[in-house]
Amino acid sequence: MWLFTGRHRELGAAICVIAFIAASIGSVFVILAGRLITRQDLSARKVLSFLLCAVTISATIGATQGFGEPVFTPPNALNRGSALFIAILGALLGVVGAMLSNKARLLRVLLLVVASGLLFGDLTGWLWRSAGATK
């Protein structure tokens, strides 16, 4: 309900649409990475610790960038700053990871996991910031 109240209530629907799209794309990347791990000769035990480290770092980077800037700019519009840049970077990394050949399976999985971490982290920071009080 906080998206549709207050000074920026007309932008609540846009925030929900952006959040849904970012979460959907991040989910697709995680599902693709999971299918690559289980379907191929990659052992989940070998790469799990490496992937957990990569997703933690990328989600932290995304969250700090998403939280570090205002969601709204003064003329009552959504901010198109570094949070948007990080989301686009995450989407591009995921697309590159999905398009690589099967010869580079570990790199594909790494790119997909990092991309989803960036998207989910950015989304979390951005929504956390937008839920806060606006000045």
Q: Give the DSSP per-residue string, 8-41.
A: TGGGHHHHHHHHHHHHHHHHHHHHHHHHHHHHSS
Average pLDDT, the chain: 77
Q: What is the pTM of this model?
A: 0.76
Q: Tell me: the pLDDT tens digits for 9-68?
A: 677 777 778 888 888 998 898 888 878 777 656 566 666 777 777 778 888 887 787 777
- Please report how the helices 105-131 and 44-67 are oriented relative to each other, as an axis angle in degrees rounded to 10: 30
CA-CA distance, 70 to 57, in Å (whole number)? Answer: 22
Q: Give the phi and the psi of residue 46 in degrees, each rounded to 5.
A: -70, -40
Which positions ≥6 away from 12 have C-beta within 8 Å?
3, 4, 5
